[in-house]
Amino acid sequence: MKTRMKAPTNRENLNRPMILLQWSHPNEEKTLKETTYQSRLQIFPLQSFRERSEASPYDIFIASETESEEIVNDEMTYEQLKKEARIGALIDPDNSSKLDELLEKECSCFVAAEREPYDKLSRLEEAIHFSDYVDPVLQHHLLAIFQPLKEEYRGQGNIQLNFDKAMHLLTETEAMILDEILKGKSNGQIAKDCYLALSTVNNHVSHLTRKIGANDRTHAVKRAIELNIIKE
What DSSP designation does 230 have?
B
What pLDDT sits at residue 18?
93
Q: What is the pTM of this model?
A: 0.59
Flag whether 149 is in a domain: no
Could you tell me if 16 and 70 lie in one domain?
Answer: yes
Q: Which domain range does residue 199 map to?
A: 158-226
What pLDDT sits at residue 28?
83
Flag whether 144 is in a domain: no
Could you tell me if 130 and 219 lie in one domain?
Answer: no
Kind plus residue range of the DSSP H or E element containing 192: helix 187-194
Domain CATH code at residue 42: 3.40.50.300
> For the chain (length 232 residues), average pLDDT per consecutive 10?
41 78 83 79 90 84 92 90 92 83 85 90 88 82 61 55 92 92 88 89 92 88 89 73
Measured CA angle at 104 (ends 21, 19), to 5 deg: 20
Burial of 169 per CB tally in 10 Å (0-12, 13-18, 19+): middle
Flag whether 1 is in a domain: no
What pLDDT sits at residue 6?
42
Task: DSSP for 202-221, please give it.
Answer: HHHHHHHHHHTT-SSHHHHH
Could you tell me if 69 and 179 lie in one domain?
Answer: no
Could you tell me if 134 and 212 lie in one domain?
Answer: no
Q: Name the domain count of the chain.
A: 2
Measured distance CA(26)–CA(39) in Å, rounded: 22
Flag whether 63 is in a domain: yes
Could you tell me if 203 and 172 lie in one domain?
Answer: yes
Q: Which of 106, 138, 170 is the last residue of a domain?
A: 138
Could you tell me if 122 and 211 lie in one domain?
Answer: no
What pLDDT sits at residue 143?
64
- Contacts of residue 204, Cβ cutoff 8 Å, sequence gap at least 6: 173, 174, 177
Could you tell me if 117 and 18 lie in one domain?
Answer: yes
Flag whether 110 is in a domain: yes
Could you tell me if 21 and 132 lie in one domain?
Answer: yes
What pLDDT sits at residue 158?
64
What pLDDT sits at residue 209?
92
Answer whether 89's CB lies under 8 Å from 111's CB.
yes
Could you tell me if 187 and 216 lie in one domain?
Answer: yes
- Contacts of residue 34, Cβ cutoff 8 Å, sequence gap at least 6: 117
Flag whether 2 is in a domain: no
Q: For the chain, where are the alpha helices, taking DSSP H only?
A: 10-14, 28-33, 65-73, 75-84, 96-104, 117-127, 139-154, 163-166, 172-182, 187-194, 198-211, 217-226
Domain CATH code at residue 167: 1.10.10.10
